Amino acid sequence: MKDRGFFYGRSFKPTEKDRPVSHDPVVAIVGVTGAVGAEFIATMDRRHFRVGSLKALASARSAGKTIDFRGRTVEIEELTEDSFKGVDIALFSAGGGISRKFAPAAVRAGAVVVDNSSAFRMDPDVPLVIPEINAGRIRDHKGIIANPNCSAITALVPLWPIHQVNRIKRVILSTYQAASGAGAAAMEELVESTRAHLEGRPFTPKVIPHPYAFNVFSHNTAIDPATGYNDEETKVIRETRKIFEDERIAIGVTCVRVPVLRAHCEAITFECENPITEDEVRAILANAPGVRIVDDRAKNYFPMPIDASGQDDVLVGRIRRDLSDASGHSISMFVSADQLLKGAALNAIQIAELLPQRAMA
């Protein structure tokens, strides 16, 4: 299978030699007060991402507040269509409606947009990029590059290197998604509803449509009455095919929200065109970019949200033969990844690191 990506080592972090710099970019963060906005800032610091100056953009109610960035105080500005003058890179994480309204204005002003919403993902003119998989597609952008759905990223980072060696023809996927996927307000609601439950107090949900504490429920996106699939599940199906550039992959997905603050988990069973063993999968993943194997059968220790939180890698474990497939073509595994990092902010910063400098001018 043709490899369309390019890598800067296992951690996928460009060096100064790899990344020519003609000027340090002006970066705007749209949705800077949200959970992903905070991770944009932390991730840029941790990865020493070069920033000439930062524009912090949010709604009118946050305008005038301040954030700290590299020892400086940055005042938050109200997001308007005139906010992007002089901006080289605009990192968006404020919802699809905001992206659809303001991303074109950023592009007209000369910025390259890396968008974390679903607004442009399936637009044929917009690259949908996971750098470990298809970084080469970044150069095809026409002003906007889309960050994939967090559940898709979590699954595809470990599936891609297997797919390159032995084409994956079918995937059955079940997600266990944390509150972080619904934003900072949902995380706070989980904390408050859990506290109320433990104290025996009533609690009325405001952000999530169901009681969150000690509960599991179908992902809180709209259900397609014709298929029975919710919007999150449909995104994973469609985005997998676009990123892998393979419309033949059969995909079944069930997305569920669980009472975990941060980091998604997924149970994945995949079927390959040719027989494959668990040892072969471990060997492939051992050196795969963005993957860390956590697979200790003796200690019953496998990927968990508590370990994935704050980590860049997708944790992969419970790698085992699918006993329901006597042909030996199928493997089951369990993965976990930080939704706010690799599922959102980190993936976007990795994309920004790979932008040709003059393409931003």
Which residue numbers are catalytic?
Answer: 150, 264
Which amino acid would we find at residue 117?
S
Region of 191 (left: φ > 0; alpha: ψ -120 to 50; beta: rest) is alpha
Cα distance between residue 73 and residue 69, in whole Å: 6
For residue 63, the 8-state DSSP code is T
Say what angle helices 150-165 and 231-244 make with each other, to 10 degrees: 40
Token pair 């100056």 is found at: 53
**Cα R_g (the chain), whole angstroms:** 20
Sheet holding 53-58, edge to edge: 66-69, 72-78, 53-58, 26-30, 89-92, 112-115, 144-146
Cα distance between residue 77 and residue 64, in whole Å: 6
In degrees, rounded to 5, the angle at the alpha carbon of residue 323 between the alpha carbons of residues 317 and 325 is 115
Token pair 């050196």 is found at: 287
Token pair 């439950």 is found at: 197
Which amino acid would we find at residue 94?
A
DSSP-derived 3-state class of residue 139: helix
Burial 244-271, CB ≥16 within 10 A → b, else e: beeeebebebbbebbbbbbbbbbebbbb
Q: Which of 352, 128, 317 is nearest to 238 (CA)?
A: 128
Q: Please list the alpha-helical segments (H only) found in the chain.
A: 35-46, 96-108, 131-134, 150-165, 184-198, 231-244, 278-286, 305-308, 346-353
Q: Which token pair is 252?
A: 């079944």
Cα distance between residue 135 and residue 166, in whole Å: 21
